Amino acid sequence: MKKIIYIDLDNTLADYLALAQEMNVEPKDAKRIQGFFAQLQPMPGAIDAYNRLAEHFDVYILSTAPWSNPHSLCEKILWVKQYLPRAYKNVIFSHHKDLNMGDYLIDDSLKNGAANFHGKHIQIHSAAFPTWADVLSYIAKEENIVL
């Protein structure tokens, strides 16, 4: 049985902050803009990292959709279909990430239950894991595999 990895979407797979900055909008306000999530670009190395992890693990995208923008759910699914076409059936939306059972959670935040995840929480963009390369290196070492 394969181990399970959950990966956050906003600012983990998709570059949320860059688009907010480009649009000259505060990040907390950007999530309210219809069409915002459909315009996100992938984070550097994220698509390759997802595909490499999917060769060894059951990988799910675990994202939170803002209550203030009901279109965000659809936009996030469309983003996944565009950049990770085989993953669109592996998308979970939750404001309680700690309720999901798995081995790893890769997320840029500690919010929405990420800090209480029961497996290993890898906080990307932190001092310990500044890039996707660092995340892959850590998991490869932990699991004794080549990624």
- Encode pLDDT of 76-128 as tens digits: 999 999 999 999 899 999 999 999 999 999 999 989 999 999 999 999 999 99
Please tell me the predicted confidence (pLDDT) of residue 63.
96
Helix (H/G/I), strand (E/B), else coil: 65: coil
The Cα 12–Cα 46 span in angstroms is 7
The Cα 124–Cα 115 span in angstroms is 13
Q: Does 141 score more than 90 pLDDT? A: yes
Catalytic option among 10, 15, 103, 107: 10
Q: Is 8 a catalytic residue?
A: yes
Q: Does 66 score more than 90 pLDDT? A: no
Q: Is 29 a catalytic residue?
A: no
Q: What is the mean pLDDT of residues 47-66?
A: 96
Q: For residue 65, what pLDDT band results from cuts at 50, 70 and 90?
A: confident
Tokens 């990895």 found at: 5
Please tell me the predicted confidence (pLDDT) of residue 67.
86
The Cα 100–Cα 142 span in angstroms is 21
Catalytic option among 8, 103, 107, 108: 8
25-44 as b/e: b if 16+ CB within 10 A: eeeeebbebeebbeebebbe
Q: Does 9 score more than 90 pLDDT? A: yes
pLDDT in tens, 16-44: 999 999 999 999 899 999 999 999 999 99
